[in-house]
C-alpha cells in the first residue's frame, strides 16, 4: 500500500539524513519509490520467517536488470548455502547477525567471461588492465545497490557486508570462484524484526558540487556533521585501549580510528593472483 503522503515522508527522511529540508513538488511522479530510497534503513535483526527461493530468485533477476557498463555483464550473485554461511559468519565474529540472517548473498565481480568469449570468437583481448577490474567491480556494486532497492520494495531488510574482503581468499576457495572472479561484498537478507534507523549523512554541500569540485571549509563541515550525527545516533568509541579517550567522539574520530590501522593490505595481491591485471 502506498503512503498517502509520500512527499512529506521524503522531506522528513531527507531532513533526518542530511539536516536539510528539501521541497517535494506534489505533482512529482514516483514519490513512493523516492520515499523508499530516502528512508532507506540497514537491518541487522530478522524474524524467523523464511525468504522463499522463488522470491529470492525474482529479486536477483531484478537486481541483474541494472545497467551494465557497455552491456558487458560482469556481475554475478552467489546464494550461499547455510553451511558456508555459518563458516563465513565464524570468520567475522563481531557481526553475529550474519549467523541469524535467513539468507546470505555474495556479490561477485566477474572478469572471466570476457576473455573467455574472446577466445571463443578468436579475437585478441588487449584490454587486460586496471579498467577491466574496475568495470567488473563497479558492475557488482550497481547490482548490489539494485538488489537493496528490490528488497526494500517487497519489505525485506538487508545489510551489506564488505568485511568479507578481509577473507577474500577463503571465501573465494569456499565458493569455488574461478580465476578473474572475486567477492566484492556479502549481504544479509531477511524480514526485519525492527524498524531500524535512518543513518545521517554528510551535508549535501559537502557531497553535491555545482559545476566543479569544491571542498569548501571541510573542517567546519565535518565538525557540523559530527555534532548533528552525535545528537541523533552517537558512536560507541572504537578501541579506546589503543586510541585513548577524547572529549567528543564523532563520526570523523571513528573513521580516523578505523583507517588508522592497516586493512586488507593484501587485497591487491589477492586480486592479481586471481588473474586481474591492475596496471
Q: What confidence tens digit (pLDDT) does each residue in 95-105 have?
A: 999 999 999 99
Does residue 213 have a pLDDT over 60? yes
Instruction: Give the C-alpha separation, 203 to 216, whole Å.
Output: 12
**CATH code of domain 53-196:** 3.40.109.10
Does residue 1 have a pLDDT over 90? no
Question: Of 101, 80, 81, 98, which is closest to residue 90 (Cα–Cα)?
Answer: 98
Q: Mean pLDDT for the chain?
A: 96
Question: Taking the model in full, what pTM does it have?
Answer: 0.95
Confidence band, pLDDT 50/70/90 cuts, at residue 253? very high
Nearest 10 degrees: CA dihedral of 69, 73, 75, 77?
Answer: 140
- Tell me the Cα Rg of the chain: 21
Nearest 10 degrees: CA dihedral of 175, 180, 183, 189?
Answer: -70
Instruction: Give the C-alpha separation, 98 to 260, whole Å.
Output: 26
Percent of the chain exceeding pLDDT 70 equals: 99
Per-domain boundaries in the chain: 6-38, 53-196, 204-258
Instruction: Name the one residue in this structure whose C-alpha cell is 531532513.
Output: 15
How many Cβ atoms from other residues are within 10 Å of residue 38's Cβ? 22
Helix (H) or strand (E) holding 272: helix 267-273
Q: What was the pLDDT predicted at 188? A: 98
Amino acid at each position: 500500500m502506498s503512503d498517502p503522503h509520500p512527499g512529506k515522508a521524503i522531506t522528513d527522511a531527507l531532513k533526518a539524513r542530511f539536516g536539510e529540508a528539501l521541497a517535494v513538488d506534489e505533482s512529482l511522479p514516483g514519490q513512493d519509490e523516492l520515499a523508499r530510497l530516502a528512508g532507506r534503513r540497514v537491518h541487522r535483526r530478522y524474524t524467523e520467517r523464511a525468504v522463499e527461493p522463488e522470491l529470492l530468485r525474482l529479486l536477483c533477476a531484478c537486481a541483474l536488470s541494472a545497467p551494465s557498463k557497455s552491456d558487458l555483464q560482469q556481475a554475478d550473485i552467489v546464494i550461499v548455502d547455510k553451511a558456508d554461511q555459518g563458516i563465513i559468519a565464524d570468520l567475522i565474529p563481531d557481526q553475529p547477525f550474519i549467523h541469524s540472517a535467513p539468507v546470505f548473498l555474495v556479490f561477485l565481480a566477474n572478469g572471466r567471461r570476457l576473455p573467455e568469449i574472446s577466445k571463443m570468437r578468436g579475437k585478441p583481448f588487449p584490454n587486460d588492465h586496471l579498467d577491466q577490474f574496475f568495470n567488473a567491480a563497479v558492475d557488482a556494486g550497481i547490482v548490489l545497490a539494485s538488489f537493496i532497492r528490490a528488497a526494500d520494495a517487497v519489505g525485506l531488510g538487508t545489510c551489506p557486508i564488505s568485511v568479507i574482503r578481509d577473507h577474500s581468499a577463503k571465501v573465494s576457495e569456499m565458493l569455488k570462484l574461478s580465476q578473474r572472479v572475486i567477492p566484492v561484498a556479502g549481504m544479509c537478507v531477511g524480514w526485519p524484526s525492527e524498524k531500524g534507523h535512518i543513518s545521517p549523512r554528510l551535508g549535501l554541500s559537502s557531497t553535491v558540487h555545482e559545476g566543479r569540485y569544491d571542498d569548501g571549509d571541510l573542517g567546519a563541515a565535518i565538525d557540523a556533521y559530527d555534532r548533528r550525527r552525535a545528537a541523533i545516533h552517537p558512536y560507541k568509541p572504537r578501541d579506546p585501549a589503543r586510541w585513548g579517550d577524547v572529549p567528543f567522539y564523532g563520526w570523523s574520530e571513528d573513521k580516523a580510528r578505523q583507517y588508522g590501522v592497516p586493512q586488507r593490505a593484501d587485497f591487491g595481491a589477492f586480486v592479481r593472483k586471481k588473474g586481474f591485471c591492475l596496471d
